Chain A
């Protein structure tokens, strides 16, 4: 018989759930403490724009506060914002989503991802995703009770996930394919032909594809294909996007999910009990961004493109092989010539030369041997960082 509470004998209890214990903390924050105690560090370790949100967007939010917009919004998000979003998706990708039932405003893409996974997964369901990938994909899958199935992607394949690599991994338990292109951390963009293959696979096996397209507007010289815009894919896609990257609005926490009604309803069920709604100030700012933010996005994209070229050429000039990123704002050079693990590399580089980069291993096993360098930082800083990295490589390249 188990002891009851009245006996005062303590039963050993684990206060943290097994599910959470099984998830390791994001490797990306490992250097955080070390970093904050150092001065003069140039950080290429960030995952956000260095632009401040364009002033007219901030001003619109300030104005909305002055007018007293401080309440909850509909669970789905402000109706005006959803309508504007529906128009935007129509004009950009020819997609038609009903703003009343097929769009949900979320607290960033992060919440959208969590909702999507929780809405579709039963315990033990499998989600197929690329490796390396954004840190949240496998962990959120685990937390939602699912099993993350990683498909290696390599520099030789331009870090694209291939339908022929996915197919053999599809089982009865496979529920979805989770992709994020343009990719964090690699900067890879999926060509349309490759996406079509994946779309066909999803249709053949009746799978969903969760497509995180938060970097969709940040592409350089290539076109971003919205997965949901491919034939018959609206039914199979949960499109996740947001305002953080393109409009430099990371701190506002506004994203959105677009999918067929049944899925949006399921996601909203979780959202209404856990979040209720995205903050209204962020939503007001997002509305302004959608209506009048295009020219700033274009200007930022041009600026990132300049920096991208400087970063990639610089990395190659100091002797690192670097895949040419066509989207997002990351370069993902190989550091294999140093013989170090990517974590050793990042730590040594930080201590010796005060440059912060993120070890590729934080993004999966296949990120090992690479580091993520964010070029959303000023050109003089990029140049100085490259100079320091050049010295570092010079010292360490022949040692192993």
Chain B
């Protein structure tokens, strides 16, 4: 069954029929497995990785380190929830090290992100401090190299 998900993770557009050919598992079984994973939220969503810069669209990303005070009984979960409900926070992780939460924030402009951090994030009760790192250039996204990736340079016919 793992092969089904591995195939889908690489290419979300594969149909159950295609996956069936690739894995040797019947199309009906593939479809059932996918449906169940969607229902269980093992498959969260199907997305496309886009190089927005190439399309001439500006997008600003920042990695925000957040130091918080954990709370009795709920630890970091309650504050994490307060933060991840903001749509600007695209990914939220609890991390070990010098800070607690790592948040990937996306906006149209730097101003968008600055406003979110100063007006929404930093004022939260249990937040002790934030450090914002603006992303200057994306080299690799989700396993894909954005520019200058590797090309296959095989000869067309070899023994």
Using a CB–CB cutoff of 8 Å, the interface residues on chain A facing chain B are 26, 28-29, 31-32, 35-36, 41, 43, 45-48, 50, 52, 134-136, 184, 302, 306-307, 309-310, 313-314, 356, 358, 379
Contact = CB atoms under 8 A, between A and B. Distances in A.
B107 to A, nearest CB: 33
Nearest to A311: B21
B60 interface: no
B1 to A, nearest CB: 14
Question: Top 8 closest A-B pairs, CB basis?
Answer: A306-B22, A45-B157, A43-B156, A47-B158, A28-B159, A35-B156, A135-B159, A47-B159
Interface stretch (B36-44, B88-96, B147-155): B147-155
B58 interface: no
Contacts of A314: 21
Contacts of A31: 157
Contacts of A310: 18, 21-22
Contact of B152 (A47, A50, A313): A50
B23 interface: yes
Interface core residue of B7, B150, B155 (most chain A CB under 10 Å):
B155
Given A32-B155, A52-B152, 14 more contacts: A28-B158, A32-B157, A43-B156, A45-B156, A45-B157, A45-B158, A48-B154, A50-B152, A52-B150, A136-B159, A309-B24, A310-B18, A356-B156, A356-B157
Contacts of A46: 154-158
A36 B7 CA distance: 33
A313 B158 contact: no
B159 A50 contact: no
B6 interface: yes
B3 interface: yes
A137 to B, nearest CB: 11
B157 A313 contact: no
9 contacts: A28-B159, A29-B157, A29-B159, A31-B157, A36-B156, A45-B156, A135-B159, A136-B159, A313-B21
Q: Using C-beta atoms within 8 Å of the partner chain, give the interface range for chain B.
A: 10 to 19
A28 B156 CA distance: 11
A356 B158 CA distance: 11
A307 B11 CA distance: 14
A309 B158 contact: no
Contact of A48 (B11, B22, B23, B158): B158
Given A50-B152, A309-B23, A310-B21, A26 B159 contact: yes
Contacts of A135: 159
Nearest to B22: A306
A306 B159 contact: no
A10 B23 CA distance: 69
Nearest to A185: B159
A302 B6 contact: yes
A43 B18 CA distance: 22
Nearest to A221: B24
Nearest to B7: A306
Contact of A309 (B22, B155, B156, B157): B22
Interface in B1-51: 3, 6-7, 11, 18, 21-24
A35 B84 CA distance: 55
Interface in B96-152: 150, 152
B6 A28 contact: no
